[in-house]
Structure 1
């Protein structure tokens, strides 16, 4: 497993998306979760990203227990959704709430996180959150912003960078390259975290045309999934086969060909995790492959965008 640096941190190129521990991608039993986290550590994955709202604290609690005693791990969490009041979690970024939420996250994780992030704030809320920068070194070693939902991500990311946040997290994959490419350029030297590298499994050999309602990936419209898969089979899969990678590995290689600090994967089995970890081999994609992939949004971007509505 290759690693990239931010300050004193050495962060594995492949990160573990611990949202799977919060039953957001199907229910994962405790034994399965233990095997998955243990395998991640065995593979050299040391970066684990979670949020307090995943499973209403369950994912943090379980991750904290499974990482207890592990050395050299880098843990990130997110706050900003008030699930304590009951009902549908609502976004809150006032200092009083955020500090309470962070204290509870620390308790569940059993450690001070390496990175604390505001979870999906608007650009205006980011600009009003200067107090969060002062929590660097108190509740977490570094501070960042997880960007989304995917509405004004470019504005949000630029606002976070201008404010002086250490990190930003954003969607970036072969099919959804913007505003990721702009944020990568603007954020050089910061901790850049890519999520959804497989575009809800469209960029894997495990593609499914639809997901059950409790699965977070069900937010994708079936029409988008079907058309995106057609594009992938025509434009991407032959390139992956040419280099001997699985489709899932090739999608990760694309992301890692840019100065991304770590790309977070959604793995619900040991087999998936082993496949994805093998993509971290220190070799970027050849120039001609990157040029072909970078041309995809110009061909299909408008069509896919229309299918999101």
Structure 2
């Protein structure tokens, strides 16, 4: 039996539906396996579904109750693996995302719903996610088009309002790094969460005030900077060609051409000792930093193994970093200016 940590009081959070859960979720991008846009890899390489399932079951034993996925991850495969692993569990909060078109047979992303009938494709995507996840009702559905126009996003949310009224979904949100987009729809009754990039290197200084002012949930993607904050990558180490981090996307800050960006490695070296104080691992310290930034943050680190899950869950017992440690990190990290809003 896996030891279930007793979460620090500040490592718990109350959701929009009144449920209180540990303030740590798991992001299911990596367990989706390979998928592509043409020849460009969008996944984290090959996966072992049995290992992914064992990791999910380990998370459940450790008390984790929030799982975030997307229909496009692995062209539907992430949802299918998660759905099988949590079948029959009504104590689990499932968050998924929609907005991209894909072909499950070829593992190709083929476009977005933005150029189609938004109402019809939104309904179709929700139904398909429900089938793969084996859920009659989805707890949280998020728009996965980071830069979609505010007006067009409103059409998607109108449809999600109808599905919410019918009991098909519980609530909805937007996976976006643009504060103006989040603010534009934050007043809707069903709009409860924003998923956005946030970690030690990027503190989302403009997004967090929008979230706090509107009482939203801050779901933190890339809380470990796509793995850099685990400490397992060394300077010059090359990642496999079928790993998304081998790309040169504009939004990908921490890796370029499959290697760690030296500037970020240097920043991490300056604060490593602060993150690992009190017996924390580097990843646990990075998660604790997010908790200390706001009581509304919910990090969703990715995972591929039970060992990674156990390490991340170990952060729950210690809770947020102390104020003095946070202050010293800010003094040393030399964080880049946020600049104009962009996808991250």
TM-score under structure 1 normalisation?
Answer: 0.87
Distance in 2, matches of 1:128 and 1:303, equals: 30
Displacement of 1:84: 4.3
Distance 1:296 1:201 in 2: 21
Partners of 1:274 and 1:5 in 2: how far apart?
23
Return the alpha-carbon distance in structure 2 between the equivalents of residues 11 and 101 of structure 1.
Answer: 27
- The superposition leaves residues 32-58 of structure 1 with CA deviations (integer Å, 9 ceiling, x where unpaired) of 112111111111111111111111111
Structure 1 residue ranges without an equivalent (≥5): none
Q: SS of the residue aligned with 1:4?
A: strand
- What is the aligned partner in structure 1 of residue 20 from structure 2? 10
Q: 1:90 aligns with which of 92, 95, 111?
A: 111
Partner of 1:158: 183
Partner SS for 2:228: coil
Shift of 1:168: 0.8
| Contact kept? 1:166, 1:191, Cα under 8 Å | yes
CA distance in 2: counterparts of 1:71 and 1:139, whole angstroms = 15
Separation in 1, partners of 2:315, 2:229: 14
Q: Distance in 1 between matches of 2:83 and 2:260?
A: 36
Contact 1:5 1:261 in 2 (8 A): no
Return the match for 2:316 from 280, 283, 290: 280
Match of 1:136 in 2: 164
Which digits, 9 at most, give the CA deviation of each residue in 1:222-250, with x for residues without a partner?
A: 5762210111101x202123332111100
Deviation at 1:196, TM superposition (A): 0.6
TM-superposed deviation, 1:27: 1.6
What is the CA–CA distance in structure 1 between the aligned matches of 2:133 and 2:90, rounded to whole Å? Answer: 14
1:186 aligns with 2:195: no
In 1, are the aligned partners of 2:221 and 2:299 still within 8 Å (CA)? Answer: yes
Please tell me whether the aligned partners of residues 205 and 246 of structure 1 are also in contact (alpha carbons under 8 angstroms): no
Q: Which residue of 2 aligns with 1:211?
A: 239
How far off is 1:290 after superposition?
1.6
> Separation in 2 of the partners of 1:161 and 1:82?
26
In the alignment, which of 194, 198, 205 is matched to residue 172 of structure 1? Answer: 198
CA offsets 1:167-210 (integer angstroms, 9 cap, x no match): 111111110112443344334x2222111111122212212544
Q: How many residues align?
A: 300
Quote the Cα distance in structure 1 between the aligned partners of 2:93 and 2:61.
15
Distance change >3 Å, CA 21–CA 241, structure 1 → 2: closer
**1:254-305 deviation line (CA, Å, top 9, x unaligned):** 11112235210112222211111011126321111122334567x3404999
What is the CA–CA distance in structure 2 between the aligned matches of 1:142 and 1:282, rounded to whole Å? 30
SS of the equivalent of 2:21 reads strand
Q: State the superposition RMSD in angstroms.
A: 2.7
User: Using the alignment, how far apart are the partners of 2:218 and 2:89 within structure 1?
Assistant: 24
Q: Secondary structure at the match of 1:120?
A: coil
Asked if structure 1 preserves the Cα contact closer than 8 Å seen for 2:274 and 2:325, the reply is yes
Q: Identify the residue that residue 47 of structure 1 maps to in structure 2.
A: 66
After TM superposition, the score normalised by the length of structure 2 is 0.79
Of 163-172 and 222-231, more deviation after overlay is shown by 222-231
2: distance between equivalents of 1:84 and 1:302?
A: 39
Q: For structure 2, which runs of at least 5 residues remain unmatched after alignment?
A: 34-42, 248-254
1:72-83 matches, within 5 Å, as 72-83=91-102
Structure 2 residue 53 is the aligned partner of structure 1 residue 31:
no
Alpha carbons 2:230, 2:283 under 8 Å: kept: yes
